[in-house]
Every structure is written in structure tokens, then in C-alpha cells.
Amino acid sequence: MTAAGDTALGLYLAVPFCRSKCTYCNFASQVFAPARYAEYCELLARELALAAADGLAGATLTSIYWGGGTPTLLPAAGFARILQAIGDHFTLAPGLEHTVEAAPGTLPPERLDALAAGGVNRLSLGVQSFADAELRAVVRLHRAATARDDLARARAAGIANLNLDLIAGLPHQTESSWQATLDAALEAEVAHVSVYMLEVDDDSRLGAEVLASGSRYHAAAVPGDDFIAAAYELACERLEAAGIRQYEISNFARPGGESRHNLGYWLRRPYLGAGLDAHSFLTAPRPRRFANPDTLEAYLAPLRAGRLPRSAPTWLTPQAEREERYFLGLRRNAGVGMPHEPDEATQAAAAAQHLADGLLERRHGGIALSAQGRLLANRVLADFLETPLALS
Amino acid sequence: MDRQFIRNFSIVAHIDHGKSTLADRLLEATGALTAREMQHQVLDAMDLERERGITIKAHAVRLDYRARDGRQYQLNLIDTPGHVDFSYEVSRSLAACEGALLVVDAAQGVEAQTVANAYLAVNQHLEVIPVINKVDLPSADPARVKEQIENVIGLDASHAVLASAKTGLGTEDVLEAIVHRIPPPAGDAEAPLQALLFDSWFDPYRGVIILVRVVQGRLRVGQKIRLMSNRETFAVEALAVRTPKTVPVETLSAGEVGLIVANIKRVADAQIGDTVTDEAAPASAPLAGFEEIKPMVFAGLYPVETDQHTELREALEKLRLNDSSFFFEPESSAALGFGFRCGFLGLLHMEIVQERLEREFNLDLIVTAPGVRYLVEKRDGERLEVNNPEKLPPPGDIAVIEEPIITATIIANDDALGGILKLCEDKRGVQKGFEYLGPARVMLTYELPLNEVVLDFYDKLKTVSRGYASLDYHLSGYRASDLVKLDILVAGDPVDALSIILHRDNAFERGRALAAKMKELIPRQQFEVPIQAAIGGKVIARETVRAVRKDVLAKCYGGDITRKRKLLEKQKEGKKRMKRLGKVEIPQDAFLAVLKVEQ
């Protein structure tokens, strides 16, 4: 059963529950009755046991990341049950980064205490905006004041490593409301800020409405791409000036405050994903990616029967690995090494083309996206894929 | 068989009036195919023909029919192409017949191709039998249609057959009319051989197969034959008729229709309209009416991937094996690289060739705006034919340019008249005829420059008439005209593949519209892209495609790399359909922008 698997890895725990579904959300998260939370936690704990038995028993966890959904909706008992399973089957690396994503307004004192007691040392708060009109428009249940309050209490509870998520491009966002959001984010003096840009696609109800030129969900008040690009640039500038330096397209941190777990994605370090629609990347004995089902029943049913619910693995070919190194690695400001011929002919050509058009620049003897290149990253990264494509 | 019991006939109709369905019905009724064997529209064998509901190639099928008089007849059904692009082929197919069924939709009545085809048949001195089809439709009005046939075409419609090819109603009446009203073929089986070649195609196993009507004399297996236009000789390896299964025969005599296999290598050697004769005892003269088919519409064809140039050439050569009516020659474009200038019989023909190249040969193509052949006389007296705007001499060198003119017949409801008259006027048309066909139906005759028609005339005609106008045309000559070359510059560089030749009076407006359309079609790029329209170096319109600011996927998605990869793969696939000109990426369809301009 237990072929030699990865011995050190990150752990991602997906908690798909929300109090309300934000209009821009395209995750496999939903509003489920709290009655279902207990079973979910129980079966997630079972998944961890099964995954450990499948080649990962005793592996050292270098980071734990609870994502969502809204992990802070989990009842204390469920949270404890999962932590228990982690402790039973894995080894925790000394000083590991242990992050929980939280929606402002879901952190009563007892929950904060339970998190801290459970070893959580980093909190990622889904603030999105400090403008109440924008929060209301996308059906966030919290207000700016809630977020400020939560930050203060998290610190009081001993969780000092804090991240704020912000979204450029929310409906009704204006230059001055965005400035105000950035002001508030800087005043919070957090270690880490993530700045996302609103994604308009058919996977969210707001995105679909924008594409259909409709008016529901405040779609008509979504700012255009030019505004979003300018807002993003402004955020980069102001965060940098405050010593919060960009290290990835959407991520900014004070020195040492980078998210180790998320860095693992771009550096292609192994991680195990557990929970609904969670994705995994394991490297030993051979690199492969697989994912759990993205509907609750399809995820739970196999676990009830004592089986892992994951998809068949996609084994990465040398080509796929080569492509990933570039399209993931280039997301980091540190960039990647210069591609070399003849093994990396496609990548060398792409590098040459985009060094010439200014979307890439040289960095530390390698290449990295330029400021304009970060905003046009899809165009650059697509050119690092080879023809014929590795997967499709 | 005794010639007295042979009938050679064709079916002509406007598109969708039920020609192919009637043909199927005749096959079924004569037992050529049982209902079980019938595949709908047996005669339209090419996929494209079935999909588009049109006939591209001619066919001939022999039907055995026992008539009400108790005698056995051999009916040769010669199916003709059903589109204006192929009217020469239609005329040759008709020349192989003594009679024609003129199928007219009982609800729609006489349309432009009804008129054009009926005239073709009448001019070949065929006995034309009107068949009013779809009489089972609630909106059928056979009396009105009869009246139109008499008034517009001048045929006696009192004995028109009422039929419904769909239900089978009237099928036997049609067969009886063929037997009793179409004369048997004349022609002496003992005279020197003259056989009309009215179609040919390439069979990978047997070489070129030709379809002939023996007009006089006799064909037999083993005979040495000669094609009279090019004096090429061949030995007849096999003769056959189609029932529609292919049945070998030993001889074909005057009056009969059949296939010849004679080890002919190239379709180009077996031209439609040519006369087949006996090498040892040739006829003194060929049959009348042979013409070299000349392409009327020209466009550049380029592979999107420049490394597919050889594949494109091979595909064109293969297609030409089966279709000698299109021509191609290598050309190169600064914008598009190496490609081919291709000539077609018309726009539909062009679309068909393009579609077959993409479908059967899996090629990704860029097609430039269609144009026509101009006759240019230079100031130094040199005369040239120009079918590529890039080859037009500088304005200062040109003494006269002549452009091809067509005579167009348009039939429409009179409530659309205003729009149609305006369209014809915008397209520099000269009205030659105006006739009411009935209370609300009008037939217009116009002389129009072909270059206006190939661009977008037909689509616009359909629009202004809400789909109810029909169009037919034929080339009627050349006329001197004030023509100029309009260039489109993208990011400051002229894109040769986007140049068009047009009348000076339309150049300004079209240049402006074209620049605006290009702005729509060219996606935003990393840099601002200016688009200009110019005549002889003078810029007449300018638009700007603003630079794209943002194209990035920001979210982490809990390590879902597959999602990111899929998005990037989609982007990469999309790029493949773009042509890179300097720093600018232009989508394939932008090269046809000129067809999409709304005026």
C-alpha cells in the first residue's frame, strides 16, 4: 500500500461553507445548512487518514492552510476533530505556518481563542474593500468597521501574522473609494496584503451578468479593465512605498511575511489538498496532480464508503513540468532562470520575444515579468506552453 | 434500345423549390431504388451538397419506366448544378437533353433562378414541362404560379403538372409527361461519333471518369476516342450507366447517356462542353457551345501557419483534380507570406473550395477579400489583366481600367422595391428592365459592376428584401470605370492583403467604414495600434485600437493549477488563429473585413 511518498508537504483544507454566496465568487462553495458541517468534518478527518495511509503516513507538514468558503464557520468540535486527525497521521514541522481564511464577522472571541489554541498563527481576512457600498453590492455580510474590529481582536488573541484580501474592480468602486480602501489597509499595519482583480467570467453570477450586459448584481457598476489596471498599479505603488513589497502577481508582504504555503504553489513544492474540490500535487515517487470532486455529494459518498474521493492522477510529463516551472514560477517577482536551448526552445523563444516587447525583464541573471507584464501575464505565460499542448 | 423509347431530361428549379426531392421521388417510383434504400436526396452525394441543399456536380441516372401505354421506356435523368456560379455547367447539362422539368414552388412562385434556368432550357430548344411543386402546402396557389409562368417566361402552363414531391402526389403524372411530351432523341447511330462531355470527375481508382451524351454515332469498349478541343486521345476501358448503381455496358449509342473510363489522368483534360469523337473516323466538327470556363471571382488563399504552404499546394492540386473550374497560381504577400491567388466561378464556388480545404485537408486558411479581373491599359500601350489589387500599376501609369459588368435579374416583392432600387443605385447599377409579374411581385433587370456584387451585394439584397428577393446574373461585358486602389495601414504599414480596388466615388466612405470595422476586429494589443485607410498614399480615414491594460488571472484557487493551465491553453489556441504582422496580431477574419462593412 504505502509506496514511498512525499515526506514533506503543505496541507490545504477546503471548507466550502459560507453564510452567503458573494456575487463574484466562482469557487465550489455554497451556503449549506450547519447541520451538515459535522458530517463534513468527520469525513474530512477520514480523508486525511486515508490519504496518510496511501503513502504519506508520518509525512512532515511544512504549512497548513484552511481555505474556503469560510473555514471560521466550522464548529469548534469539527475544527478540533480535523486537527486531531492531522496530529494522528502527520508530523508538524517546527514553526510551521498555519493559516486560516476568515470572513470578517465570523470571529467571536471564543473562536479566535480556539484557533490560537489549535496552533493557528496566521489569519487571512477576506476584507475585499473598506467601502461599505461596495461590500453591500457584492453581498458581503460585513462592513469596514467589522474588519477593523476583527483585526484588533485577532492581534489581542495572539495571532499577529495577518493578511488582508482586497479586490480591485468591485461594483461602484471609484478612484477615491479605492484610495480609501488602500489607506485603511495600510493603517492596519498588517504583514501581508493580497490584491486580486475582479474576474469577469461565466463561473460567477456577477461575471456572467457583466458578460451578458445585464444589470443584476450591480453589474452595470463594475468598472472597466482600464480602471482595474490603474487601481492595481496604484495598489502596487502604495504598498511598495509602505514597505509591503510585491512578491507575486497578487501578493505583497513585509520582508519575511510572505505566505510560505502559497509560495509552494508557484515553486512546485508538494501539497496535499483535502476537502471539497481540493487539489493536490505530489512529487514522490513521480509528479502528479489530482483533485477531489466539486459537488458535496460526490465528495462525501466515497468517504462514507471508506474510499478516497480523488480523481485519477494526471502524471506530469517532462514537457508539462517544464511548462509549469515557467507559467507558475514567472508569477513570482523573483522570476525564474533563463530558459536554455535546445530542451527549452519554446520557452527560450518566448523569453526572447517578451524581453524584446518589454513584458519580461532580466532579473538576477534570469527573467521576471515587468510591471506591464504582470498586468498582461496571461499573454506572456501562454507563450511558455509548447505546441502540441501537454494536456489537452 | 430503340431511340423511340429513350427520353433525356433534366430538372431545373430555383433553390429549395424541390428539385432534388422530385428526383428522389422519380427514382423511387421507377424502382431504381426501393424506399428502404433511399437516402434522402440520393443525387447530392457530396456532404457539402447535402448540407447546403444544393447540387454542385452534375449526375445522370437511368430509370426504367413502364408507361401507362404498356411500353418500357429508358428515362435518363440528368441532374444539373443548382447555382448561378455554375450556369455554364447547367447549360451543358441541358444541351444533353431534349426536355426539362421546370420545378416551381406553388407557394413562392417564379424566382430569379426559375427565370434564368427556364431561359437556358428554352434557348437550347428543350421541351419545358412546368411542374408546380408543393401543392400540398396551405399557402400553395397553383393558379397564380401558372399565370406567372405564362406571363414572365412565356411558357404555356395550361398543362403544368401539379405535384408534391414530398408526399409523392403527381409523380406518375410527371413520368407520363416526360414520356409523352419530351421528344425522343434524334441522331444517327451510324454517323461519325459525337458525344457531348457534360461532366467529369476524378476517381482515385479509375482516373478521370467522364459523363457523356452520345449525340450521334456509337461508343464501344476498346474504341480509341479523341477529345476535339485538345486533340488528346484515349482508349475506352469501360462504359457504364448508373441506375444509380453503376452497371457496365458494352456500347452507348446515339441518344444514350453514360460514363466513360479511359485512363484520363487530369480533369483539366476532360473539359465540360467538349466533344468526344472516334479517333479513326472523327466527326467533321465539334458540337456547338463549348467554352473555356473562366473564373470570375479571385481571392488570395494563405495558410495561417506559414509552414502549411506545401500542404495547401497539395490540397489545391488534389481539389483541382476534381474541379477544373477553379484556378490557382502562387503569389506572395508581405503580410501573409506565401500563398495562392485563386480564381472561382463565383462566391459560392469560393466558399465551397475554402470549406473543402479546411474540412477535407484540415487546413487553417486566411482568405483575402474577393475581387474580379480588371483589364488595364497603360499609358505606354501595354495591356494587362489584373486579378490582384497589388498588381495594379501606379495611378499615373494607367490610361484606362475596365471592369466586368453583369446583367442581373432580381425578383422580389414590391414592398421591398425601395430598398432594392437604392441598393442597386449604391452599387452603381443601371436599370435595364422593370416588370410586374403579378400584383405584388416585381422583376428588375440591372447592369451592375461585378466587383460590387462579389463584395456583399447578395447579403444586402437578402437583408433589404427580408430574404424574399432572388438573384441571378451573367457576365455581359467590360466597361471603363474610374477605379482606385484602397489601402489599409495597420500600425503604419500597408497590409497588402487588405487592399481592394473600387470606384473612386465609394472609396472615401468605404475606407472610413473599413477602418472602423478593422478597429472592431483587431483585438486590443500591448501597444496602441493606429489603423488608416489610404488612396495612393493619401490617408482618408484613421482609427485607433487602444492598448490592452489587463489580461491576467490573479487568484490562487487553493493550488488548482489545471484551471490556470486550461485558461492559458485556450489563450494559446486563440493565438494560433491570429496572424502576426510586425508587432500586431490580426485575427483571420479581419482579412475579410471588407465583406462585413455596413454602409
Residues of A whose CB is below 8 A from B555:
196, 199, 250
CB spacing of A378 vs B553 below 8 angstroms: yes
Kindly list the structural domains of chain A, giving each domain's residue range(s) and its CATH number in brackets, ordered by start: 8-265 (3.80.30.20), 317-392 (1.10.10)
Q: Nearest CA to CA, how far is A38 from chain B (Å)?
A: 22
Between A13 and B460, the more confident residue is: A13
Angle, vertex CA B545, rays to CA B539 and CA B547, nearest 5: 135
- Most B CBs within 10 A among A279, A359, A374, hence the mutation to make, goes to A279
With cut-offs at 50, 70 and 90, classify the pLDDT of residue A1: very low
- Most B CBs within 10 A among A227, A265, A317, hence the mutation to make, goes to A265
| B472, B405 Cβ separation under 8 angstroms | no
pLDDT tens track for B519-533: 999 999 999 999 999
The three cell numbers of residue A78 are: 469539527
Interface residue B548 vs chain A (CB under 8 A): yes
* DSSP code string of B374-395: EEEEETTS-EEEE-SGGGSPPG
Interface residue B577 vs chain A (CB under 8 A): no
Interface residue B561 vs chain A (CB under 8 A): yes
Which amino acid would we find at residue B222? G
Average pLDDT estimate for B256-271:
89
Relative to beta strand A251-253, strand A245-248 is: antiparallel
With cut-offs at 50, 70 and 90, classify the pLDDT of residue B503: very high
* DSSP code string of A157-207: TT--EEEEEEEET-TT--HHHHHHHHHHHHHTT-SEEEEEE---STTSHHH
Please report which helix (H) or strand (E) contains residue B598, including its range: none
pLDDT tens track for A343-385: 999 999 999 999 999 999 999 899 999 999 999 999 999 999 9
CB spacing of A225 vs B549 below 8 angstroms: yes
CB spacing of B552 vs A314 below 8 angstroms: no
Q: Nearest CA to CA, how far is B300 from chain A (Å)?
A: 27
Which three-class secondary structure state does DSSP give residue B405?
A: strand
Residue B207: is the preceding peptide bond cis (ω within 30°)? Answer: no
CB spacing of B552 vs A377 below 8 angstroms: yes
Relative to beta strand A271-274, strand A8-15 is: parallel
Report d(CA B154, CA B130) in Å as an integer.
Answer: 11
Q: Which residue has the cell 509528479?
A: A287
Q: Nearest CA to CA, how far is B580 from chain A (Å)?
A: 13
Closest-CA residue of B relative to A16 is B558
CB spacing of B564 vs A273 below 8 angstroms: no
Predicted confidence (pLDDT) at residue B125 exceeds the cutoff of 80: yes
- Most A CBs within 10 A among B364, B526, B555, B556, hence the mutation to make, goes to B556
- Cβ neighbours of A327 (radius 10 Å): 23
**Half-sphere exposure of B375 toward its Cβ, with a 13 Å CA cutoff?**
10
Return the percentage of chain A with pLDDT > 90, whole number: 91
Interface residue B559 vs chain A (CB under 8 A): yes
With cut-offs at 50, 70 and 90, classify the pLDDT of residue B54: very low
Predicted confidence (pLDDT) at residue B420 exceeds the cutoff of 50: yes
Report d(CA B484, CA B379) in Å as an integer.
Answer: 16
Which three-class secondary structure state does DSSP give residue B51?
A: helix
CB spacing of A225 vs B550 below 8 angstroms: yes
The minimal CB distance from A14 to the residues B556, B558, B576 is found for B558
Q: Nearest CA to CA, how far is B584 from chain A (Å)?
A: 12
Residues of B whose CB is below 8 A from A271:
559
Residues of B whose CB is below 8 A from A195:
554
CB spacing of A278 vs B558 below 8 angstroms: yes
The minimal CB distance from B552 to the residues A197, A279, A391 is found for A197
Q: What is the mean pLDDT of chain A?
A: 94
Distances A243 to A10, A165, B93 between C-alpha atoms, Å: 28, 17, 84
The minimal CB distance from B568 to the residues A327, A372, A376 is found for A327
Please choose, from the candidates B267, B270, B282, the residue with its C-alpha nearest in 3D space to the C-alpha of residue B319: B267
β-partners of residue B430 are: B447
| B197, B269 Cβ separation under 8 angstroms | no
| B554, A249 Cβ separation under 8 angstroms | yes
Report d(CA B114, CA B110) in Å as an integer.
Answer: 6
pLDDT tens track for A134-164: 999 999 999 999 999 999 999 999 999 999 9
Interface residue B553 vs chain A (CB under 8 A): yes
Closest-CA residue of B relative to A227 is B549
CB spacing of A378 vs B571 below 8 angstroms: yes
Q: Nearest CA to CA, how far is B595 from chain A (Å)?
A: 27
pLDDT tens track for A163-172: 999 999 999 9
pLDDT at B40: 47
pLDDT at B475: 87
Q: Output the pTM of the full model.
A: 0.69
The three cell numbers of residue B384 are: 494587362
Residues 6+ apart with CB under 8 A from A90: A11, A48, A52, A56, A58, A59, A60, A61
Residues of B whose CB is below 8 A from A163:
none
Exposed, middle or buried: residue A23 (CB in 10 Å: 0-12, 13-18, 19+)?
Answer: buried
Which alpha helices (DSSP H) does chain A contain, by range?
Answer: 37-51, 76-89, 109-117, 132-137, 144-156, 175-187, 205-211, 225-241, 260-266, 296-304, 318-329, 345-356, 371-375, 377-382
Closest-CA residue of B relative to A267 is B559
* DSSP code string of B136-163: TSTT--HHHHHHHIIIII----TTPEE-
With cut-offs at 50, 70 and 90, classify the pLDDT of residue B56: very low
Report d(CA A102, CA A127) in Å as an integer.
Answer: 9
Q: Is the four-CA dihedral B131, B137, B143, B147 of positive or negative sign?
A: negative
CB spacing of A273 vs B559 below 8 angstroms: yes
Relative to beta strand A161-168, strand A192-197 is: parallel
pLDDT at A6: 95
Please choose, from the candidates B246, B226, B214, the residue with its C-alpha nearest in 3D space to the C-alpha of residue B1: B214
- The angle, 0 to 180 degrees and rounded to 10, between the axes of the packed helices A109-117 and A76-89 is 10
Please report which helix (H) or strand (E) contains residue B576, including its range: helix B561-576
| B470, B112 Cβ separation under 8 angstroms | yes
Report d(CA A184, CA A127) in Å as an integer.
Answer: 11
**Half-sphere exposure of A355 toward its Cβ, with a 13 Å CA cutoff?**
16
Interface residue B571 vs chain A (CB under 8 A): yes
Residues of B whose CB is below 8 A from A359:
526
- Most A CBs within 10 A among B307, B524, B548, B549, hence the mutation to make, goes to B549
Please choose, from the candidates A231, A343, A118, the residue with its C-alpha nearest in 3D space to the C-alpha of residue B554: A231
The minimal CB distance from B561 to the residues A27, A324, A383 is found for A324
Q: Nearest CA to CA, how far is B537 from chain A (Å)?
A: 29
Q: Which residue has the cell 466513360?
A: B260
Please choose, from the candidates B59, B156, B145, the residue with its C-alpha nearest in 3D space to the C-alpha of residue B106: B145
Predicted confidence (pLDDT) at residue B53 exceeds the cutoff of 60: no
The minimal CB distance from B554 to the residues A196, A262, A376 is found for A196
Please choose, from the candidates A272, A377, A186, A365, the residue with its C-alpha nearest in 3D space to the C-alpha of residue A8: A272
With cut-offs at 50, 70 and 90, classify the pLDDT of residue A223: very high
Average pLDDT estimate for B186-202:
92
Q: Nearest CA to CA, how far is A74 from chain B (Å)?
A: 18
Report d(CA B339, CA B360) in Å as an integer.
Answer: 19
Cβ pairs bridging A and B (under 8 Å): 111
pLDDT tens track for B7-47: 999 999 988 898 888 988 998 898 876 655 555 444 444 45
CB spacing of A375 vs B549 below 8 angstroms: yes
Residues of B whose CB is below 8 A from A381:
568
CB spacing of B571 vs A382 below 8 angstroms: yes
Interface residue B567 vs chain A (CB under 8 A): yes
Q: What is the mean pLDDT of chain B?
A: 88
Which amino acid would we find at residue B378? K
pLDDT at B84: 65
CB spacing of A389 vs B569 below 8 angstroms: yes
Which amino acid would we find at residue B305? E
| A318, A352 Cβ separation under 8 angstroms | no
Return the percentage of chain B with pLDDT > 70, whole number: 94
β-partners of residue A282 are: A288
Distances A311 to A10, A47, A279, B310 between C-alpha atoms, Å: 19, 14, 10, 43
With cut-offs at 50, 70 and 90, classify the pLDDT of residue B598: low
Interface residue B558 vs chain A (CB under 8 A): yes
Cβ-count burial B334-361 (b if 16+ within 10 Å, e if not): ebbbebbbbbbbbbbbbbbbbebbeeeb
- The angle, 0 to 180 degrees and rounded to 10, between the axes of the packed helices A76-89 and A37-51 is 0
- Cβ neighbours of B244 (radius 10 Å): 19
ipTM of the modeled complex? 0.91
The minimal CB distance from A228 to the residues B550, B565, B575 is found for B550
